[in-house]
Amino acid sequence: MKIWRLLLQGVGLITLALSAWGCYYWATTAVSELRHPFSDSKAPFFRAAFWTMSVIDVAFLAAIVFASIKLLQSRPNAALIYTCILLALSVYAFGPGALWTLPNGIGTSIAAASGVGSMGTGPLIFFPFPFIYPLVSIVLVNFAWHRLRHSQQSSGN
């Protein structure tokens, strides 16, 4: 039983570390954009796209930190919350790419901002290879939660 709780907490701790790394990336990118705003006539809405993606990134980071803390505490809904957030993040990772073909410089602006607008969640998505950590951690968290719940039910009988 203790090993499953440690596995949940380990994933929570690693996810917190990756989130802290992402916060650093987000902050340095945001400060850089504030100090040296990007300007290109082919991407006239870059700033709007960048800051929209940045706000979404911060919201994901806050949600992931919340879920990670729940994993560290081994709360009953922790696995479900963590799974839903990481699945939503994985879907969102492809979302901006679907908008790149929009006309009148909108798509070009989104494409230009896509490289830097989601820097905060980059470590979570791309460490150590694209989408490996989210997939493996979701499987581990759900397996550990299932085993922990099963062992608690067995010991209660």
Indicate if the pLDDT at residue 23 is higher than 80. yes
The length of the chain, given as a count of residues: 157
Indicate if the pLDDT at residue 156 is higher than 70. no
pLDDT tier, 152 (very low <50, low <70, confident <90, very high otherwise)? confident
Comparing CA positions, the residue from 76, 93, 78, 60 lying closest to residue 140 is 78
Indicate if the pLDDT at residue 4 is higher than 60. yes
Q: How far is the C-alpha of 26 from the C-alpha of 41, rounded, in Å? A: 25
pLDDT digits (tens, 9 = 90+) for 95-117: 999 999 999 999 999 999 998 88
Whole-prediction pTM value?
0.91
CA angle (19, 23, 29) in 5-degree steps: 140
Copy the structure tokens of residue 79. Answer: 């696995």
Distances (CA, A) of 24 to 45, 101, 108, 142: 25, 31, 27, 29
